[in-house]
Amino acid sequence: MRRISRALAAAIAIALAGCGSAPDVSGDRLPHFVAPTGPAPRVALVLGSGGPRGFAHIGVLKALEEAGVKPDLIVGSSVGSMVGALYAYGISARDLERMAYDINMLQFFELRMLDGKPATGEALQNYVNEHVHGLPIEKLPTEFVAGATRLSDGKLALFNHGDTGLAVRASSASPGQFEPVTIGNERYVDGDEASPVPIRAARALGARVVIAVDVSAYVESTPQGVPQEWIDKDARRARQVAAEAPEADVMIHPDIGYYAGESEAYRRRVIAIAERVAREKIPAIRVALERASSPAGQGAPMARIPSGEASR
């Protein structure tokens, strides 16, 4: 029963719905990376991993919208890729918030979980594709990139073309809770494993201003008695985020508590906390934007990742 409850919580965390079979994806529709050809993005928003903690991303989006800050590029890892894809399609922060409150637990369950098997993630793929009306990543109104971990070498792979839902599914395939996702000749798991908050990816894509959102727990707030597995995972994630954080102009890391949840009360609480913390960061964001707009801040055009670099 405990395993089933955890599986349900994980499914709820990434807001998936519907349990139909995933459509066949092949050819150019397979998620892949293509070197961007347009102007480098001025503002990148990086949304990190965190399972149900990802509801907090919605609060950040609300504060940014209120301040008139609109990203040209959204890079997401795990739950951040799901929220990012929906936002890149054009779903407003307010509408994302309503969607978060309308989630129905019974829509997230896969019968295979009764046998202790990990979820396939097909429901997430279908959910995302339904809400972006089948648009591939390259057709989304805002440039979007999903990060996943390639199992063959443990490195971060980026997807900016192809099936949006499948890319998000790969980015969110948390080991032990979801099956690895096969795309072409490679298998992928949760982007959290390689880069919980893919700030370097945003920089490599040419962003002049990077606003990063980390919704992970504060390690110093770890309560006594939690499993060592959790402690080790939190420490690993904190090290990875700290290694990339200096490359962000503004880091938003709301303290939403250690334990994650799936109730509506939890969703409302973390969204509200994140919105408040993000509002406090708006002055720093404006300074970064002004600096990037100045002649000194513009400098020479930044090189962007060539095709193939992100998938080696």
Instruction: Specify whether 190 is catalytic.
Output: yes
Torsion, CA 57, CA 81, CA 245, CA 150, rounded to 10: 150
Q: Which of 190, 214, 234, 249 is catalytic?
A: 190
Nearest 5°: phi and psi at 147? -105, 130
Torsion, CA 200, CA 205, CA 209, CA 211, rounded to 10: -50
Contact 208, 40 (CB under 8 A): yes
- Quickly list DSSP for 228-285: HHHHHHHHHHHHHHHHHGGG-SEEE-----SS---SHHHHHHHHHHHHHHHHHHHHHH
Instruction: Specify whether 78 is catalytic.
Output: yes
Burial of 165 (0-12, 13-18, 19+ CB in 10 A): buried
Contact 189, 174 (CB under 8 A): yes
Helix axes 264-293, 93-101, angle to 10 degrees: 160
Task: List the Cα angle 22/181/155 in 5-degree steps.
Answer: 150
Q: Supply the DSSP symbol for 161.
A: B
Q: Which of 49, 77, 78, 174 is catalytic?
A: 78
**Number of other residues whose CB lies within 10 A of the CB of residue 28:** 12
Cα–Cα distance between 188 and 176 in angstroms, integer? Answer: 13
Give the helix/strand (H/E) hosting 7: helix 2-13
Nearest 5°: phi and psi at 37? -110, -15
The catalytic residues are 78, 190
